[in-house]
Amino acid sequence: MSTPSRQPQGDVWKLSKLGCAGSRFALSRRSIDGPREARQSESKTAHRLLSGVMNYSDPSIVASTDAPFLSLNGVRKTYPGVVALDGFSIEVRPGEVIGLVGENGAGKSTLMKILGGVTRPDTGTIIVDGAAHDGLTVEASIGSGIAFVHQELNLFENLDVAANIFFGREPLRAGPLKLVDRARLRALAAPLLKRVGANFSADTPVSALSLAQQQMVEIAKALSIKARLVILDEPTSSLPIAETDKLLGVIKALKADGISVIFISHRLHEVERVADRVVVLRDGMLAGTLPKSAINHDQMVKLMIGRMLKEREKAAESARPPGSVALSVKAIRTAAYPDRPVDLDVRHGEILGLAGLVGSGRTELARVLFGIDKSFGGSFQLDGKDLVLGSAADAVANGIFLVPEDRKLTGILLDLSIAQNISLPNLPAHSRRSLVSASAEAATAEKQKTDLGIRAPSVQTRTGTLSGGNQQKVVLAKWLAMKPKVMILDEPTRGIDIGAKAEIYGLMRALADAGVAVLMISSDMEEVIGVSDRIAVMHEGQISGILDKERFSQENVLLLAVGKQPK
Amino acid sequence: MSKKDLGLLILILAVGAVVAIINPRFLLPINLANTSNLIGLFGILSIGQAFVIITGGIELSVGSVVALLGVLFIDFIATRGMAWPVALPLILVLGGIIGLAHGWLITRLKLQPFVVTLCGLLIYRGVARFYTADGTAGFAFGQNFPELEFLTAGRSWGVPNSFIALIVIAVVMWVVLHRSVFGRYLYAIGKNEEAAKYSGIRTGRIVMAAYVICGVLTALSAIYFAMYTRSISPASHGQFYELYAIAAAVLGGFSLRGGEGSLIGVLLGTVLLQELQNLVNLLGIPSSLNFAVMGGVILIGVLVDQQWGVFRARRRMLEATRKGVAGAAAE
């Protein structure tokens, strides 16, 4: 819940106390109530001071800096019981890359909805390209050149790239049949793809593209509608490092074309790399604006949650040396790479990080270890005893649990209550004579809710209404309520806010300290290196190497991930 | 009883009242007994269908199974001289085997429920007709099975025993569906089978069990239907019964996507359907319009339910927004 009565002056004070250069300019723009011209000229000066990298030798860009493409003034939006945005203001200039960060629930999604015309603000004005609106419609948003690239891609996998870019706007051949002019379609798509630096042709089927390439298609689509502001919503959350670099390159190319970008991400080091200015949202309010020179990880985190994160460091400190081998697999093969046998040992009391590029077979390996998929040959041993996994039920019965990658699809049942989700894998223990005992369910859930700090009105709350971080805690809770021996976590912190992330790191470490073997799959390099005791790296279906703590480095992980030897 | 069920009950009572006012014969004991007998017969197979629908599946072969097993049952006891206490469980087992086969094809061989049971619909109908060489299966003159006839077509204190059987089955199945571990698994699978699997539930077995339950209940109702009609022409007996069952479930608030619906709902759905049939007869509506009336009422019912949901959501939203604005103004 937000505290709507808080004054923005408080943030000015906080920022100036941090002593970051230029931040007072950023905020004074908002708080000065003087004549409009004075305000504008000052904001111009401020902008010049702030955007260190802008190319002033290009006259078109200098001219365009005078008028922001988009500005929001005092936008407020309330939902039942929640103030989602509270007097938020922002200006986006042509060719400017704005990093937008904030915890989940800080108001980012609401802001996106307002910009996309999906919802109208209660009060405040939106000025797009000089025209003032009380609220946008979807058509107005598209018409004025605002384009979105969402975290979940909206491409038709069965169509090719060109057909996706121009879907619904295909060039037609003359004649009454209105057939699609395929040649022209490709000819139109090719230059767009070139602009985003794509290394694939317009007739490639989308299903054959990697995630980053699919995002390029989305951006090309945005360019095709002559977008002047591209909003990227968590574009890198599912991308491995190498692909992320490509995407950040595309953002720079957009910027060079004078297109503005709003880059929303939980991955702060990426924001650090591309943003000209970082806008931090907290509780629906502007927590602060960081100019280029003041953008760094710690500042952003400070503004986002107002305190420093020690949890990741804490998670990295293991309290005990790793114990005996818990789960050992020999020569198991997954359906994705049936010709690549995998050997892997996970020890009691350790967090084993499993890194690798997307598509390297990590999730498939996790599915086999959890019994969802069958292994093609190979053997499993749990605590030295042979193990046969015919289904996930077998894995669960043996204390091997999986927190899957896709929380909403496979992790929890959104329609069930928290208590029902937590008891589901262990329902017979919550029943008497095959009849479910609601009181036993509630008791288990209450304990987990307290232990994990699940924020919800009650354990009877529908899980679908919770935030991502709290949903993830419910997934963890259902396994923690049983006795885990091996805990596999597939991208456990994807798309959840930084506060909840820290809590999940703490939980993983607590599990390891209690002797559980923890296997954590992650594409977040900082996370893998920060949290793991050992790192196994996968490359094309095989473990290409295992790094001990002394050899942890981004470079080594990356080298192994592309199949080369580490230093 | 949920609000939805309550609404359905009120609708049933309202329709009943209107029919009774127009034609007082509606309330005659003989009419009520006949209608409740039909409710019993259709209710049993509708409950079976409900178990399949809750998993997100569908069972289209119900009508053909009623014909095939009905023919077999009459043949066993009337022609082959099998004792009915032997024939009855045998038919139930056969129904269970049919359900098991469907469940196996759907869960192990990953065929779509619609396809599997559509093939079943065609196959069992064909087999039933072949079995009797398209003749009518029935009892010889003077052939009597007093105990069996009492249990199936008889009455106790004026109430048809088929209706009493339905009530007993409904109570048992209510506990199974709404209170048991198995029932919880069914709902979980219906809502999200993948997530249920990732929670360590053996989803294949549970879904198969749902089809077996459906098969057994269908077999039981096949026996009741056989004893009610006493002669079966396999070309038409039981035709469209699967649709009655599906309609009852949908009227009762089941979603064909699975994971939604209550036992009371499907019971009330059956009652409403039979009431409508009765209405057509009593109000002198041409019986050829029978299906049209049913279809229309189901459509209206589903529409009202859906629109009511939309309306309520909008009203909740408006109220909350007003509160929010008022709160903002008060600051």
Q: What does each of the 331 residues of chain B score in pLDDT, given as a tens digit?
A: 677 888 889 989 999 999 999 998 888 888 999 999 999 999 999 999 999 999 999 999 999 999 999 999 999 998 888 889 999 999 999 999 999 999 999 999 999 999 999 999 999 999 999 998 888 888 877 778 888 888 888 888 888 999 999 999 999 999 999 999 999 999 999 999 999 999 999 999 999 999 999 999 999 999 999 999 888 888 889 889 999 999 999 888 888 888 889 999 999 999 999 999 898 888 888 888 888 888 888 888 788 878 877 887 788 777 766 655 544 444 3
Of B175, B194, B320, Cβ closest to residue A81 = B320
Given B249, B269, B285, the domain boundary residue is B285
Statement: residue A472 has pLDDT above 80: yes
Structural contact between residues B149 and B88, judged by C-beta atoms closer than 8 angstroms: no
Output the CA angle B191-A495-A366, nearest 5 degrees.
Answer: 65
The mean per-residue pLDDT over the stretch A26-48 comes to 40
A197 inside 8 A of chain B by CB? no
Chain B interface, best mutation among A427, A462, A482, A488, by max B CB count within 10 A:
A427
B114 inside 8 A of chain A by CB? no
Residues of chain B with Cβ-Cβ distance to A411 below 8 Å are 195, 198
Closest CA to B69 of B51, B86, B93, B50: B93
Cα-Cα-Cα-Cα dihedral sign, residues A424, A406, A358, A157? positive
Q: What is the pLDDT of residue A23?
A: 35
Residues of chain A with Cβ-Cβ distance to B259 below 8 Å are 415
Strands A131-133 and A123-128: antiparallel
Assembly ipTM = 0.83
Mean pLDDT of chain A: 79
Chain A interface, best mutation among B172, B189, B199, B208, by max A CB count within 10 A:
B199
Q: What is the pLDDT of residue A66?
A: 58
Phi, psi angles (nearest 5°) of residue A412: -135, 165
Question: How far away is chain B from the Cα of A539, in angstroms, using its nearest Cα?
Answer: 26
Q: Give the pLDDT band (50/70/90) at residue A351.
A: very high
CA–CA distances in Å: residue A340 to residues A275, A377, A480, A539, B166? 41, 11, 33, 10, 57
Structural contact between residues A325 and A519, judged by C-beta atoms closer than 8 angstroms: no
Query: Residue A470 and residue A414: Cα distance in Å, rounded?
Result: 12
Percent of chain A with pLDDT over 70: 83
Question: How far away is chain A from the Cα of B326, in angstroms, using its nearest Cα?
Answer: 11
Tell me which amino acid residue A348 is.
H
Query: What residues make up the domain containing B295?
Result: 288-331
Same domain, B180 and B315: no
Strands A486-490 and A517-521: parallel
Pick the more confident residue, A402 or A526: A402
Please judge whether B188 and A411 are an interchain contact, meaning their C-beta atoms are less than 8 angstroms apart.
no
Please judge whether A122 and B191 are an interchain contact, meaning their C-beta atoms are less than 8 angstroms apart.
no
Same domain, B292 and B188: no
B315 inside 8 A of chain A by CB? no
Q: Which residues contact A468 (CB under 8 A, 6 or more apart)?
A: A104, A407, A495, A496, A497, A500
The per-residue DSSP string of B14-68 comes to: HHHHHHHHH-GGGGSHHHHHHHHHHHHHHHHHHHHHHHHHHTT-----HHHHHHH
Same domain, B238 and B114: yes
Is the backbone of residue B260 left (phi > 0), alpha (psi -120 to 50) or beta?
beta
Phi, psi angles (nearest 5°) of residue A548: -90, 165
What is the maximal distance between C-alpha atoms in chain B?
Answer: 89
B321 inside 8 A of chain A by CB? yes
Residues of chain B with Cβ-Cβ distance to A403 below 8 Å are none
* Residue ranges of A 367-426 with Cβ closer than 8 A to chain B: 370, 372, 391-393, 395-397, 402, 404, 409-416, 420, 424-425
CATH of domain A9-145+229-235+259-308: 3.40.50.300
Q: What is the DSSP letter of B238?
A: T
Q: The pTM is what? A: 0.74
Statement: residue A29 has pLDDT above 50: no
Closest CA to A477 of A417, A547, A409: A417
* CATH code assigned at B253: 1.10.3470
Predicted confidence (pLDDT) per residue in A192-244, tens digit: 888 877 888 888 888 888 777 888 888 888 888 888 898 988 777 666 667 77
Closest CA to A322 of A546, A566, A524, A483: A546
Predicted confidence (pLDDT) per residue in A479-538, tens digit: 999 989 999 999 888 777 777 788 888 889 889 988 999 999 988 777 888 889 999 998
The per-residue DSSP string of B169-209 comes to: HHHHHHHHHHHBHHHHHHHHHHH-HHHHHHTT--HHHHHHH
Query: Residue B266 and residue A448: Cα distance in Å, rounded?
Result: 36
* Residue ranges of B 186-245 with Cβ closer than 8 A to chain A: 187-188, 191-192, 194-202
Work out how many domains chain B is built from and give that number: 2
Question: How far away is chain B from the Cα of A427, in angstroms, using its nearest Cα?
Answer: 7
Query: Residue B77 and residue B149: Cα distance in Å, rounded?
Result: 12
**Would you list the domain boundaries of chain A?**
9-145+229-235+259-308, 152-227, 323-399+484-567, 412-482
Q: What is the pLDDT of residue B40?
A: 94
**Closest-CA residue in chain B for A417?**
B188
Q: Do domains A9-145+229-235+259-308 and A323-399+484-567 have the same CATH topology?
A: yes
Pick the more confident residue, B68 or A148: B68
Query: Residue B64 and residue B50: Cα distance in Å, rounded?
Result: 18
Same domain, B315 and B174: no
Predicted confidence (pLDDT) per residue in A251-288, tens digit: 888 888 888 999 988 777 888 888 999 998 877 788 88
Phi, psi angles (nearest 5°) of residue A331: 55, 35
Paired tokens of A287: 């927590």
Same domain, B156 and B237: yes
Same domain, B271 and B326: no
H helices within A260-296, ranges in order? 268-274
CATH of domain A323-399+484-567: 3.40.50.300
Query: Residue B210 and residue B230: Cα distance in Å, rounded?
Result: 29
Question: How far away is chain B from the Cα of A369, in angstroms, using its nearest Cα?
Answer: 12
A79 inside 8 A of chain B by CB? yes
Please judge whether B197 and A83 are an interchain contact, meaning their C-beta atoms are less than 8 angstroms apart.
no
CA–CA distances in Å: residue A512 to residues A246, A346, A427? 36, 11, 26
**Closest-CA residue in chain A for B192?**
A413
Paired tokens of B52: 């399949």
B182 inside 8 A of chain A by CB? yes
The mean per-residue pLDDT over the stretch A474-480 comes to 92
